[in-house]
Amino acid sequence: MDRALTPSVKPLTTAASTTLGSVGAIRIYQYEICPFCNKIKALMDFYKVPYETLEVNPLTKKEFKVLGSDYRKVPVVLFGEEQVNDSPVIAQELLKRIGEAGIASSAEMEAFNSPAAQQWAGWSDKKFSVLLFPNITRSFSESYEAFGYVMQVPHFGLVDKVANQMVGSLFMWLAQGKIKKKYAIEDERAALHAGIQEWLTDAVGDKPFAGGDRPNLADITVYGALKAIDRCAAYKEIMAETAVGPWYDRVNQLVEPGNSCTLRQ
């Protein structure tokens, strides 16, 4: 293994397995601004399942080398030594383990992961989350703002930080048009506002949450998507110009983002 391409990170510890029994040690390989990664973290925070995060270098993806796998997309989650890929698969595996550990009752799990909740979670993954990238990369300055998180990653060296913020921001900005064309998006802000309105009208309605009195998988999934961009101008505009704020705040209070993260790398 080329040590020059392998970051210095701490091994997965057993700290995450000391609370609530048998869910076990969990590490998520992530991008801080990835909506699918934030969905998984929100799910673990909501159920108070301890986990560790490892930030992946967007340019080199060198953190994946230790996994010995050709898979190069985030999120990837290690449950101990078991690698699980793809956020919908990860979410279902996590919910299975939460149920088996007795963290939530079978009735609560059934309501949280109902067919309707899964349907709206799929809508968020396939239709809503894809609207976020074009909205945070409309200009180079917006892309630069979105990539600002790399400056705070503990195991990134100065060269990695500067390269990612400059080159990564440029690549994201240049890719914006391709993403819009791929998903037939004409006006990215209008499409995002329409997606939020669809969510609030058809899923949440006059209830506190899509899940009723408590959030369900759909609530957590949409919340995670919006949480991913909370450092960006697009997020501030959404909160100011749409009615999503009260729902988002209710979910945020229950999730307490980051409350269960035991180590950030």
pLDDT in tens, 34-46: 999 999 999 999 9
In this predicted structure, the answer to whether residue 151 has a pLDDT above a threshold of 50 is yes
Tokens of 5: 């391409």
SS3 211: coil
In this predicted structure, the answer to whether residue 15 has a pLDDT above a threshold of 90 is no
Nearest residue to 91 (alpha-carbon basis) of 80, 75, 108, 106: 75
Tell me what the mean pLDDT of segment 215-223 comes to.
98
- Are residues 148 and 137 in contact, defined by beta-carbon separation less than 8 angstroms? no
Per the CATH hierarchy, to which homologous superfamily does domain 3-105 belong? Answer: Glutaredoxin (3.40.30.10)
Q: Where are the domains of the chain?
A: 3-105, 125-255
Task: Find the length of the chain.
Answer: 265
**Inter-CA distances, 171 with 139, 145, 150, 231, Å:** 11, 13, 15, 19
Q: Can you give the pTM of this predicted structure? A: 0.92
Res. 12 pLDDT band, cuts 50 70 90: confident
pLDDT at position 14, please? Answer: 56
Q: Exposure string (b/e) for 124-148, b if CB count within 10 Å is 16 or more? A: bbeebbbbbbbbbbeeeebbbbbbb
- Are residues 40 and 47 in contact, defined by beta-carbon separation less than 8 angstroms? no
Q: In this structure, which CATH number among 1.10.10.10, 3.30.420.40, 1.10.287.10, 1.20.1050.10 belongs to the domain 125-255?
A: 1.20.1050.10
Task: Report how far residue 53's alpha carbon sits from residue 261's, in angstroms, rounded to the nearest whole number.
Answer: 7
Ranking 15-29, 81-95, 156-170, 191-205 by mean pLDDT, the lowest is: 15-29
Orientation of helix 87-100 relative to helix 35-46, angle to 10°: 10
SS3 212: strand
Q: What tens digit of pLDDT does each residue of 116-149 get?
A: 999 999 999 999 999 999 999 999 999 999 999 9
Tokens of 162: 């500067």
